[in-house]
């Protein structure tokens, strides 16, 4: 019988740390800069629950949709569904339950979040089928994660702003860039199975150039966002650390040296999001 740990591994729960810090940053910015009538801690819990439920839907559905590909790929054959730890039906039930919980919690926040919750679910689930027909699947994944700061801002204000969309653009291009790096591992498999990705379409060198360009856009957009924030040492530390960590990813992973993909994808990106969010949230709370 599948355990809670199996389901946490199924959805890579630890990877929630990629988008969650940006959602919390957007939440803090909205709370500090816009009028609101909400109870802070209740709303914060609602946003966190929505983030968790939405990610569970996205990853659970992705694992369900890709179960046959995962079984054929030596790198992914031991994932929970192909390994028989979780049944396909069990994974799909998990997705449905989390989707219903997401919509229910979003509806308790405000009408806009409630009405847009099915749209958010469509975006995060649509990604799972994109690599069947387009190499731009990385961008769709970025958008799926990038809606997190927009949703958090809307939860506080019932509307959006230029700043939350700038954060969405930062996340979209950042995630698309590191997903290209991650996809280098499966380039040969994807070509054989007719799956689409930047690494399966182009050489490793070209793929990494595209990834680097996306990260340059991400860092540049972050600088534009930072212009709306108090210009302090905390802001400068957070923004510069984010940029340096992205640069380090491209130093560690090269066309001829790909053994550090795991470190670049997991460790460095977690450091990038957490360090940026901690510095900028502190900046808002102290100087905003």
Helix axes 40-65, 111-130, angle to 10 degrees: 20
Q: Which ranges in the chain belong to alpha helices (H)?
A: 4-10, 20-33, 40-65, 67-72, 88-109, 111-130, 137-157, 162-183, 187-193, 198-201, 204-226, 233-252, 261-262, 269-287
Q: What is the pLDDT of residues 132-189, one digit of tens each?
A: 999 999 999 999 999 999 999 999 999 999 999 999 999 999 999 999 999 999 999 9
Q: What is the pLDDT of residues 209-220, one digit of tens each?
A: 999 999 999 999
Whole-angstrom distance, CA of residue 212 vs CA of residue 195: 23
Let me know: does 131 contact 196? Beta carbons within 8 Å: yes
Q: What is the pLDDT of residues 155-164, one digit of tens each?
A: 999 999 999 9
Whole-angstrom distance, CA of residue 239 vs CA of residue 54: 27
Confidence of residue 1 (pLDDT cuts 50, 70, 90): low
**Would you state the structure tokens that stand for residue 89, as one six-digit string?**
């039906």
**First vs last Cα of the chain: how many Å apart?**
50
Query: How many CB atoms neighbour CB 261 within 10 A?
Result: 18
**Would you state the structure tokens that stand for residue 122, as one six-digit string?**
């469509």
Confidence of residue 8 (pLDDT cuts 50, 70, 90): confident
Whole-angstrom distance, CA of residue 177 vs CA of residue 209: 10
Q: What is the pLDDT of residues 39-59, one digit of tens each?
A: 899 999 999 999 999 999 999
Confidence of residue 266 (pLDDT cuts 50, 70, 90): confident
Whole-angstrom distance, CA of residue 169 vs CA of residue 167: 5
Checking if the pLDDT of 13 tops 70, the result is no
Whole-angstrom distance, CA of residue 67 vs CA of residue 87: 10
Mean pLDDT of the chain: 94
Whole-angstrom distance, CA of residue 225 vs CA of residue 243: 14
Q: What is the pLDDT of residues 58-100, one digit of tens each?
A: 999 999 999 999 999 999 999 999 999 999 999 999 999 999 9
Q: What is the pLDDT of residues 90-101, one digit of tens each?
A: 999 999 999 999
Confidence of residue 251 (pLDDT cuts 50, 70, 90): very high
Question: Which among 222, 115, 228 has a CA at the least distance from the CA of 177?
Answer: 222
Give the pLDDT confidence score for residue 10 in this predicted structure.
Answer: 81
Query: How many CB atoms neighbour CB 194 within 10 A?
Result: 10
Its sign, for the CA torsion 198, 199, 200, 202, is positive
Whole-angstrom distance, CA of residue 92 vs CA of residue 231: 47
Report the CATH fold assignment for 4-287.
Tetracycline Repressor; domain 2 (1.10.357)
């Amino acid at each position: 019988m599948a355990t809670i740990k199996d389901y946490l591994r199924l959805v890579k729960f630890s990877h929630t740390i990629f988008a969650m810090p940006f959602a919390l940053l957007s939440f803090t910015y909205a709370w500090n800069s816009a009028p609101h009538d909400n109870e802070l801690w209740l709303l914060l819990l609602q946003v966190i629950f929505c983030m968790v439920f939405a990610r569970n839907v996205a990853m659970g559905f992705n694992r369900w949709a890709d179960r046959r590909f995962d079984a054929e790929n030596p790198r992914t054959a031991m994932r929970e569904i192909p390994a028989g730890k979780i049944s396909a039906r069990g994974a799909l039930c998990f997705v449905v339950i989390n989707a219903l919980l997401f919509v229910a919690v979003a509806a308790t926040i405000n009408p806009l979040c409630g009405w847009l919750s099915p749209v958010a679910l469509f975006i995060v689930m649509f990604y799972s089928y994109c690599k069947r027909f387009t190499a731009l699947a990385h961008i769709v994944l970025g958008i799926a994660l990038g809606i997190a700061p927009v949703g958090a801002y809307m939860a506080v204000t019932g509307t959006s702003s230029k700043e939350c969309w700038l954060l969405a653009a930062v996340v979209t291009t950042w995630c698309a860039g590191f997903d290209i790096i991650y996809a280098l591992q499966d380039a040969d498999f994807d070509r054989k199975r007719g799956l689409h990705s930047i690494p399966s379409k182009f050489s490793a060198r070209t793929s990494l150039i595209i990834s680097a360009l996306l990260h340059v856009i991400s860092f540049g957009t972050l600088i534009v966002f930072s212009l709306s924030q108090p210009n302090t040492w905390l802001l400068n530390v957070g923004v510069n650390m984010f940029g340096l960590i992205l640069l380090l990813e491209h130093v560690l992973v090269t066309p001829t040296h790909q053994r550090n993909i795991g470190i670049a994808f997991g460790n460095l990106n977690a450091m990038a999001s957490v360090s940026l969010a901690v510095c900028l949230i502190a900046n808002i709370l102290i100087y905003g």
